[in-house]
């Protein structure tokens, strides 16, 4: 049976088969493909060299081995729900025959390079591997001990005040050069040696990936993914879309007349999207001015982006470095928002409303779009004063022929519409999402988004657990 990691990272889960139909004519059955083999575990080893100047002492005094499905040469990677399995080996020729060994896991949030800027949110109780004082524990041959540790799915934090207790999902590993805050996980083996000898620590960092799975989309969208057919819009599939409140935009067109355009942006439900997949979009523009519609419905003029915000309210922790502070103050310091992916657009084929040319009544332009998500996106998370949020934002129209009346939109100081969304790590149950944008339209996307675009109308590749 496949593990959750195999199904999530390597995409080995099989689609359900349709029921057999007895009225079909006889056929020659093709030979079944060989069964899928489970991916072998990679051994990640860390060695502690002997404290000697002799060049002959090449054999390490202690070795920590951790096993994961991450490729060789990378840090061990574990998905929520997986056990951390490993072993510790001590050199049997060492004269230090009495050792007390334990292993533990630490999760640490750092907001700077100083010690006072590091806060431990996960400190698992040490698991004793062997102790000379315990008669029930026996040393294995060659001084070799195996261990298996379960990571908690949630962490409870408290500042020590009454009723100030908060539960958070265990956050993902987060380390980026341009962001001074980081989240690190470390596996530590502590070796307490005999009297008059210094204790030793053997440790390795590892990657943790939370298992965030969106709810399934609407039945009509599931059917479209299963049959590889176009998605139905908000009018035909109202349960499958979330429509933001309409926004009216006023501006001067061609510097000779004031026009009004109503924008209605819809995002596919649920508002949670797996990295490596897509965010389906629908946009309806309404106006009495057909020239304004023709201009502003051009895909080159529309700018809808996926925006990331890093929240870092380190002042919330106070000056005395408490056990933990879970309370979020009203005033939150944020890193500059990043625009990390841009939507591509195309005209909806069945948009028959464009044919009407009666200037006395409003007319519409309806467009389909999608944002293609990189597989390397960090998922949405939040723990106390630190976290990552994502939103889909519609920015002012990118054309000099239409000048917005409001100062904010004129100087691009604020979006026309914005909706917070979640970035997940696992695909929802059922058929996987399909990219529907025509290949020629994808060239509009920036290089950062194009690097991981999937082929059109084909199942998207699995989301990697890194």
Question: Which of 10, 64, 74 has its CA nearest to residue 37?
Answer: 10
Domain ranges of the chain: 4-10+39-209, 219-450
Q: pLDDT tens digit string along 438-459?
A: 776 555 554 443 333 333 333 3
- Measured distance between the N- and C-terminal CA atoms of the chain, rounded to whole angstroms: 23
- Which pLDDT belongs to residue 13? 35
Q: pLDDT tens digit string along 409-430?
A: 666 668 999 999 999 999 999 9
Q: Using CA atoms, how far apart are residues 375 and 277, in angstroms rounded to an integer?
A: 8
Between 383 and 11, the more confident residue is 383
Question: Which of 180, 183, 160, 188 has its CA nearest to residue 172?
Answer: 183
Q: Report whether CATH 3.40.50.720 matches the domain 4-10+39-209.
A: no
Question: Is residue 248 over pLDDT 60?
Answer: yes
The percentage of residues in the chain with a pLDDT greater than 90, rounded to a whole number, is 48
Between 203 and 99, the more confident residue is 203
- Which pLDDT belongs to residue 93? 65
Q: Using CA atoms, how far apart are residues 302 and 297, in angstroms rounded to an integer?
A: 7
Question: Which of 170, 208, 183, 204 has its CA nearest to residue 83?
Answer: 208
Between 89 and 272, the more confident residue is 272
Consecutive H or E run containing 402: strand 402-404
Contact of 344 with 449, CB cutoff 8 Å = no
- Which pLDDT belongs to residue 254? 92
Contact of 419 with 247, CB cutoff 8 Å = no
Q: How far is CA 159 from CA 117, 327, 332, 352, 381, in A?
A: 16, 8, 18, 60, 20
Q: How far is CA 76 from CA 10, 16, 42, 43, 327, in A?
A: 16, 32, 8, 9, 32
- Which pLDDT belongs to residue 56? 52
**Which tokens hold the place of 410?**
């004129």
| φ, ψ of residue 340 in degrees (nearest 5) | -110, -10
> Which range has highest mean pLDDT (8-12, 88-92, 323-327, 348-352)?
88-92
> Rg (Cα) of the chain, in Å, rounded?
28
Q: pLDDT tens digit string along 128-165?
A: 887 766 544 444 445 788 999 999 999 887 655 556 67
Question: Is residue 315 over pLDDT 60?
Answer: no
Question: Which of 188, 21, 23, 204 has its CA nearest to residue 106?
Answer: 188
Fold that domain 219-450 belongs to in CATH: Immunoglobulin-like (2.60.40)
Between 37 and 182, the more confident residue is 182
Q: Using CA atoms, how far apart are residues 267 and 271, in angstroms rounded to an integer?
A: 7
What mean pLDDT comes out for the span 253-281?
95
Question: Is residue 332 over pLDDT 80?
Answer: no
- Which pLDDT belongs to residue 142? 53
Question: Is residue 83 over pLDDT 90?
Answer: yes
Residues of 19-37 as b/e, b for ≥16 C-beta within 10 angstroms? eeeeeeeeeeeeeeeeeee
Question: Is residue 328 over pLDDT 70?
Answer: no
What mean pLDDT comes out for the span 219-230?
94
- Which pLDDT belongs to residue 303? 94
Q: What residue has token string 């990331």?
A: 308
Question: Which of 288, 242, 245, 279 has its CA nearest to residue 263?
Answer: 245
**Which tokens hold the place of 126?**
């040490």
- Which pLDDT belongs to residue 317? 40
What mean pLDDT comes out for the span 89-95?
69
pTM of the predicted structure, to 2 decimals: 0.79
- Which pLDDT belongs to residue 405? 84
One fold for 4-10+39-209 and 219-450: yes
- Which pLDDT belongs to residue 373? 96
Q: Using CA atoms, how far apart are residues 292 and 404, in angstroms rounded to an integer?
A: 12
Q: pLDDT tens digit string along 30-50?
A: 455 455 456 689 999 998 876
Q: Using CA atoms, how far apart are residues 78 and 36, in angstroms rounded to an integer?
A: 21
The pLDDT mean for the chain works out to 77
- Which pLDDT belongs to residue 140? 46
- Which pLDDT belongs to residue 439? 73
Q: Using CA atoms, how far apart are residues 270 and 239, in angstroms rounded to an integer?
A: 10
- Which pLDDT belongs to residue 156? 83
Between 180 and 80, the more confident residue is 80
Strand partners, 392: 306, 419
Strands (E) located in 254-362: 257-268, 272-274, 278-287, 304-312, 338-342, 344-347
Measured torsion, CA atoms of residues 404, 408, 411, 415, in degrees rounded to the nearest 10: -90
- 192-206, 209-223, 369-383: range with lowest mean pLDDT: 192-206
- Which pLDDT belongs to residue 210? 96
Residue 58 pLDDT level (bands cut at 50, 70, 90) = low
The percentage of residues in the chain with a pLDDT greater than 70, rounded to a whole number, is 68
Q: Using CA atoms, how far apart are residues 95 and 102, in angstroms rounded to an integer?
A: 20
Q: How far is CA 169 from CA 149, 163, 220, 270, 313, in A?
A: 18, 19, 32, 20, 18
Question: Is residue 292 over pLDDT 60?
Answer: yes
Residue 252 pLDDT level (bands cut at 50, 70, 90) = very high
């Amino acid at each position: 049976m496949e593990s959750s990691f195999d199904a999530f990272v390597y995409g080995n889960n099989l689609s359900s088969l349709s029921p057999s139909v007895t009225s079909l004519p006889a056929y020659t059955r093709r030979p079944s493909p060989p069964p899928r083999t489970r991916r072998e575990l990679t051994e990640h080893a860390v060695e502690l060299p002997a404290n000697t100047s002799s060049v002959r002492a090449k054999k390490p005094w202690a070795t920590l081995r951790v096993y994961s499905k991450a490729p060789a040469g990378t840090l061990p990677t574990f998905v929520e729900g997986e056990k951390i399995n490993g072993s510790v080996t001590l050199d049997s020729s060492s004269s230090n025959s009495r050792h007390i060994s334990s292993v533990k896991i630490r999760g640490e949030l750092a907001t700077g390079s100083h010690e006072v800027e590091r806060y431990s949110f996960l400190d698992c109780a040490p698991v004793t591997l062997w102790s000379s004082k315990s008669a029930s524990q026996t040393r294995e041959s060659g001084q070799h001990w195996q261990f298996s540790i379960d990571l908690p799915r949630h962490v409870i934090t408290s500042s020590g005040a009454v009723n100030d207790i908060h539960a958070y999902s265990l956050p993902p590993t987060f380390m980026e050069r341009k962001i001074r805050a980081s989240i690190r996980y470390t596996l530590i083996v502590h070796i307490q040696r005999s009297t008059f000898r210094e204790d030793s620590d053997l440790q390795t960092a590892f990657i943790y990936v939370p298992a965030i799975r969106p709810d399934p989309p609407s039945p009509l969208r599931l059917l479209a993914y299963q049959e590889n057919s176009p998605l139905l819009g908000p009018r035909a599939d109202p349960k499958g879309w979330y429509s933001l409140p309409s926004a009216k935009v006023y501006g001067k067109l061609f510097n000779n007349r004031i026009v009004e355009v109503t924008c209605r942006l819809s995002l596919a439900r649920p508002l949670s999207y797996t990295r490596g997949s897509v965010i389906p979009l629908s946009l309806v523009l309404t106006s009495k001015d057909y020239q304004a519609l023709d201009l502003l419905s051009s895909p080159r003029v529309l700018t809808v982006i996926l925006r990331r915000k890093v929240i870092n309210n380190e002042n919330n922790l106070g000056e005395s470095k408490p056990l933990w502070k879970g309370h979020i103050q009203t005033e939150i310091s944020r890193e500059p928002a990043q625009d990390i992916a841009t939507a591509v657009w195309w005209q909806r084929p069945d948009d028959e409303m464009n044919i009407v040319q009666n200037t006395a009544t409003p007319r519409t332009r309806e467009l389909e779009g999608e944002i293609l998500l990189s597989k390397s996106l960090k998922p949405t998370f939040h723990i106390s004063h630190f976290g990552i949020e994502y939103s889909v934002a519609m920015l002012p129209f990118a054309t000099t022929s239409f000048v917005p009346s409001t100062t904010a939109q004129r100087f691009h100081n604020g979006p026309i519409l914005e909706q917070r969304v979640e970035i997940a790590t696992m695909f929802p149950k059922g058929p996987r999402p399909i990219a529907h944008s025509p290949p020629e339209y994808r060239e509009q996307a920036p290089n950062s988004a194009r690097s991981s675009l999937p082929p059109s109308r084909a199942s998207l590749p699995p989301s990697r657990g890194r």
